[in-house]
Chains A and B, each alone.
Chain A
């Protein structure tokens, strides 16, 4: 056999594509894996689904999202006139009074879009929800596959714009965390359990945002010669180290943002009082 003189045989029998194509080793089973390959996609799907259900409920609830000094990250910044008043908080009624729905919807578009087009989440839901593929070397159930070559999935390429948008959102959440160093009477220099929850959340949000693959590209990955840009090279290395943990950070920040919201909900709805440290 010479080096690929023969054109690759691209014919396949109708109804028997993929690993069951006529030229491939005749094995009926769609896969021969003996490990619990379904566990990871199932867990991913369950986790994502739980978050979607919870966040939909909370975003549409339009209630119990502010308990001074804490504002739920789902509602920050709050950009409509129907927002609850937050002293010095992130409520700027840019949308005026015509907006009648939950103000969460306005702002959640951005973090949602950021996560939806994120390279890690893409992997997670392509595998978990779309079974494309369900797991490595496990045949996928689809007849055709075009990946991200055409509408709508070609839109995944706009990930970096969501990154640009996610940075100011994270900035505002940082501001919220600073505000959380007040007490319920807006006196500065205090801290409660909620402050700690917010601190953890904001660190994870930033870590997730900055470890983004688009960020890695923008800060330095696009360069051809690192040696001519030593500062950007250092930044690229730093982002690269975080990027290696992008999956863990994606999950951790997803959980922490939901927990931060849940915490505010529990305080706002009076389930318990925010334990104050000082």
Chain B
């Protein structure tokens, strides 16, 4: 066990303004950044606003930017920093700030609502669903998402261009579209909803330029770009840019992807 005094810079303020505030604070063996923020609360800044819940990387509440990188505070160990390094903690910089480290993540909840829900297949009652493990693997990977919104935060499409927030759902919710499109029993197509087409037309898939920052920040290690976004782009191509598939559909009169 050894402890030391670390230098921290923590952004404090609200929508009116604010700035980085300096702190010196004790750090013990095995601690994570969230522990230090809690120590600041308990000893130096009782009203320091921060969101957190499980403290085990499972709920995705304590998202922040640490030394400029979007991360979960509970999963960032102090040992990754040098003892003389100043650790800078700021709120997520893509969303409107509320206070200190807390931001208004309402954008994400708005987007979540715009993705049409799972469509249960007709004629199958509860208990009658049969799905093979290999058919659910892909969607299960995406369902590991803890909705920390770090991918939404790091994505330059909205981070650097506020105006794109209207048109672009962000990696988390494009992945949700992919998850449903790959769900073996989702009956959206039968109900007249083409998720592949709407990914492009309504959720802004075209804005994604696959620069993979979402994958880099994902604390769950979901391969968002390779397994969700690019496959979704390819599915959109099937619908919109592939004359062969189009021709095939015309001839066979059935959707090409309903394997």
A-side residues, CB < 8 A to B, are 1, 3-12, 17-19, 21, 23-27, 31-35, 119, 122-123, 126-127, 132-133, 136-140, 142, 144-150, 153-154, 157-160, 213-214, 216-217, 221-229, 233, 243-244, 246
- Known A-B contacts A10-B165, A26-B17; the reply to A33 vs B68 at CB < 8 A is yes
Q: Residue B161 contacts which of A1, A18, A159 (CB distance < 8 angstroms)? A: A18
A47 nearest CB across to chain B (Å): 17
Establish whether residues A32 and B95, one from each chain, have CB atoms under 8 Å apart when the complex forms.
no
Query: Which A residues are in CB contact (< 8 Å) with B153?
Result: 137
B160 nearest CB across to chain A (Å): 4
- Known A-B contacts A10-B163, A10-B166; the reply to A4 vs B109 at CB < 8 A is yes
Q: DSSP majority for the A interface? A: loop
Q: DSSP majority for the B interface? A: mixed
State the CA gap A46–B208 with chains docked (Å): 24
Establish whether residues B213 and A227, one from each chain, have CB atoms under 8 Å apart when the complex forms.
no
- Indicate whether B4 reaches chain A with its CB closer than 8 angstroms: no
A-B contact pairs, 14 of them (CB 8 A): A1-B106, A4-B106, A17-B161, A19-B159, A24-B97, A123-B210, A132-B156, A137-B159, A145-B156, A150-B206, A157-B240, A213-B226, A222-B235, A244-B223
Nearest B-chain residue to A27, judged by Cβ: B90
Query: Which A residues are in CB contact (< 8 Å) with B184?
Result: 224-225
Query: Which B residues are in CB contact (< 8 Å) with A224?
Result: 135, 182, 184, 257-259
Establish whether residues B156 and A228, one from each chain, have CB atoms under 8 Å apart when the complex forms.
no
Query: Which B residues are in CB contact (< 8 Å) with A12?
Result: 162-163
Q: Residue B96 contacts which of A9, A119, A160, A225 (CB distance < 8 angstroms)? A: A9
B214-259 CB contacts (< 8 Å) to partner A = 216-217, 223, 226, 230-231, 233-238, 240-242, 256-259
Query: Which A residues are in CB contact (< 8 Å) with B67?
Result: 32-35
B239 nearest CB across to chain A (Å): 11
- Indicate whether B116 reaches chain A with its CB closer than 8 angstroms: no
Q: Residue A226 contacts which of B113, B134, B217, B236 (CB distance < 8 angstroms)? A: B134
State the CA gap A135–B49 with chains docked (Å): 29
A167 nearest CB across to chain B (Å): 15
Query: Which A residues are in CB contact (< 8 Å) with B91?
Result: 25
Establish whether residues A147 and B207, one from each chain, have CB atoms under 8 Å apart when the complex forms.
yes
State the CA gap A222–B196 with chains docked (Å): 11
- Indicate whether B11 reaches chain A with its CB closer than 8 angstroms: yes
Please encode chain B, from 117 to 154, with 1 for each CB lying within 8 Å of some chain A CB and 0 for all others.
00000000000000010110000000000000000011
Query: Which B residues are in CB contact (< 8 Å) with A1?
Result: 104, 106
Query: Which A residues are in CB contact (< 8 Å) with B95?
Result: 24
- Known A-B contacts A32-B68, A145-B160, A149-B207; the reply to A136 vs B217 at CB < 8 A is yes
Q: Give me the 8 closest cross-chain CB pairs, A-B, nearest first.
A: A32-B68, A223-B259, A33-B68, A4-B109, A149-B206, A23-B96, A136-B213, A217-B234
Establish whether residues A123 and B154, one from each chain, have CB atoms under 8 Å apart when the complex forms.
no
State the CA gap A243–B225 with chains docked (Å): 12
State the CA gap A148–B85 with chains docked (Å): 40
State the CA gap A214–B241 with chains docked (Å): 13
- Known A-B contacts A33-B69, A136-B154; the reply to A227 vs B94 at CB < 8 A is no
Establish whether residues A24 and B94, one from each chain, have CB atoms under 8 Å apart when the complex forms.
yes
B248 nearest CB across to chain A (Å): 12
Q: Residue A140 contacts which of B96, B160, B182 (CB distance < 8 angstroms)? A: B160
B105 nearest CB across to chain A (Å): 9
Q: Residue A136 contacts which of B69, B97, B230 (CB distance < 8 angstroms)? A: B69
Query: Which B residues are in CB contact (< 8 Å) with A225?
Result: 132, 135, 184, 259
- Indicate whether B62 reaches chain A with its CB closer than 8 angstroms: no
State the CA gap A180–B206 with chains docked (Å): 44
State the CA gap A138–B206 with chains docked (Å): 21
State the CA gap A158–B184 with chains docked (Å): 27
- Indicate whether B93 reaches chain A with its CB closer than 8 angstroms: yes
State the CA gap A229–B132 with chains docked (Å): 12
- Known A-B contacts A12-B162, A126-B209, A145-B161; the reply to A157 vs B233 at CB < 8 A is yes
State the CA gap A157–B109 with chains docked (Å): 30
Query: Which A residues are in CB contact (< 8 Å) with B11?
Result: 25, 27
Query: Which B residues are in CB contact (< 8 Å) with A9?
Result: 96
Query: Which B residues are in CB contact (< 8 Å) with A142?
Result: 160
- Known A-B contacts A33-B67, A160-B234; the reply to A18 vs B160 at CB < 8 A is yes
Nearest B-chain residue to A227, judged by Cβ: B132
Query: Which B residues are in CB contact (< 8 Å) with A10?
Result: 162-163, 165-166
